[in-house]
């Protein structure tokens, strides 16, 4: 579990954009919270890496039922799942 509380949802969006762009995918300039992750290169291997990073950085394990294409289509969608899971 991370030692700090989960940031506000807008801050979480930006943190995840940074995580994806600096540690996971080679994204194009202008990549943001509403950019399509699949178009940016998210594939099954990158998805697994993303799940590990989310668990390590935010202490959130995303359940198998939530592993849908829609939930991982954008950073904004993913941040809502993380935010909701931390509140559970």
User: Cβ distance 85 to 1 under 8 Å?
Assistant: no
Identify the residue whose tokens are 């668990």: 55
> Which structural domains are found in the chain, ordered by start?
16-87 (1.10.1200.10)
C-alpha to C-alpha distance for 83 and 25, rounded to whole angstroms: 22
Per-residue pLDDT 10s for the chain (88 aa) are: 444 677 888 899 999 999 999 999 999 999 999 999 999 999 999 999 999 999 999 999 999 999 999 999 999 999 999 999 887 5
DSSP lists the bridge partners of residue 74 as 36
């Amino acid at each position: 579990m991370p030692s700090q509380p989960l940031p506000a949802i807008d801050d979480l969006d930006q943190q995840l954009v940074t995580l994806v762009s600096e540690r996971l995918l080679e994204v194009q300039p202008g990549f943001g919270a509403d950019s399509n992750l699949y178009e940016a290169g998210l594939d099954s291997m990158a998805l697994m890496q993303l799940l590990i990073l989310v668990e390590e950085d935010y202490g959130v394990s995303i359940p198998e039922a939530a592993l849908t294409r829609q939930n991982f289509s954008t950073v904004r969608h993913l941040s809502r799942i993380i935010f909701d899971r931390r509140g559970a």
